[in-house]
Amino acid sequence: MAGTRPESVEIVEVGPRDGLQNDKQLLPASAKAELIRRLAAAGLRRIEATSFVHPKRVPQMADAEEVLRLIGRLPGVSLSGLVLNERGFDRALATDTLDEVTFAAVASETFSQRNQGAGVEENLETWRVISRRAREAGLFRSVTIVTAFGCPFEGEVPVARAVDLARAVAEIGTDELSRADTIGVATPPDVEARFGAVAEALPGLRLRAHFHNTRNTGYANADAALRAGVAVLDSSLGGIGGCPFAPEATGNIATEDLVYMLGRSRVATGVSFEALRETTLWLEGEMNRRLPAQTAHVGLFPPGPAARTS
Ligand code: MG
């Protein structure tokens, strides 16, 4: 049963990582650093800055260390890096500029084998090691369950599977649990059922949601997630980010469109719509194309000076 929306929500900006990672057009490290600085200036307090994966697999993220070096410290902003294995974690730790690590647990065996090169259980054992080391290093730990709403190879992911995996991750240890609709198939009832079940099974665990707008259900899903007890939402500026299993798809839900929706829903984000809009228009110049976000192009309603939705 859908509950009421919270008074405020935390947005994690994932554009610099999830948004860019599959983009064929390589953005220079200096532009990525500028993007992250602009996002911080817009009021975003958590930014997934990069990932520490093999540069041959994800060429766009080959400059992880360089991007972080160019950014330096941003006061009041927590920067995170995605790691998939201990080697990635070693790299992340060595930068000495990250506040958070994000790890991907996988809901389906086939996707885990193909994407992580390890089975679901083996992957969880990797997290056991990284989780302990991250805690010792004082890093905030977030685990994202990918393909949490559907797998491109195995199809539906049952609610019971969602709960079992969430429990396994929570028992190993994490500060936050995210569920990602990696291929953009979820609908609001799926979101309510799965987050509702996890919230019931693991009360007190901080929940985060990651939606792609592949099938235009992303914003409805974000609203459903808030009403199901989720405290943190991911989005990407401009709606950048593809889906490797749907090449023509639009990307993650767009930060400015989400901020517009939440502002009109009386859910505070602390983020400036105007600063996001200006950043999207700047990024369109850097990428030489129009980005999927709608409000960056059509503007706010009602028109007039944009208020910071705090
Ligand atoms: Mg994603």
Q: Is 151 a catalytic residue?
A: no
**% of the chain at pLDDT higher than 70:** 95
Query: Which of 49, 92, 166, 243 is the catalytic position?
Result: 243
pLDDT surpassing 70 at residue 223: yes
188 vs 305 pLDDT, higher one: 188
Integer Cα distance of 90 and 84 in angstroms: 11
Domains and CATH numbers, the chain: 10-307 (3.20.20.70)
Ligand 1 centroid to Cα of residue 183, in Å, is 8
Judge whether residue 226 has pLDDT over 70.
yes
> pLDDT digits over 140-170, tens only?
999 999 999 999 899 998 999 989 999 999 9
**N-terminal to C-terminal alpha carbon distance within the chain:** 28
| C-alpha of residue 203 to centroid of ligand 1, in Å | 25
Per the listing, tokens 């929500």 go with 9
CA of residue 159 to ligand 1 center, whole Å: 20
pLDDT in tens, 44-100: 999 999 999 999 989 999 999 999 999 988 999 999 999 999 999 999 999 999 999
Q: How far is the CA of 302 from the centre of ligand 1 (A)?
A: 31
CA of 182 to the centre of ligand 1 (A): 5
Per-residue pLDDT tens digits for 242-260: 766 666 677 999 999 999 9
What pLDDT was estimated at residue 307?
47
Nearest to 130 by CA among 98, 65, 174: 174
Determine whether 310 is exposed, middle or buried from the number of CB atoms within 10 Å of its CB (0-12, 13-18, 19+): exposed
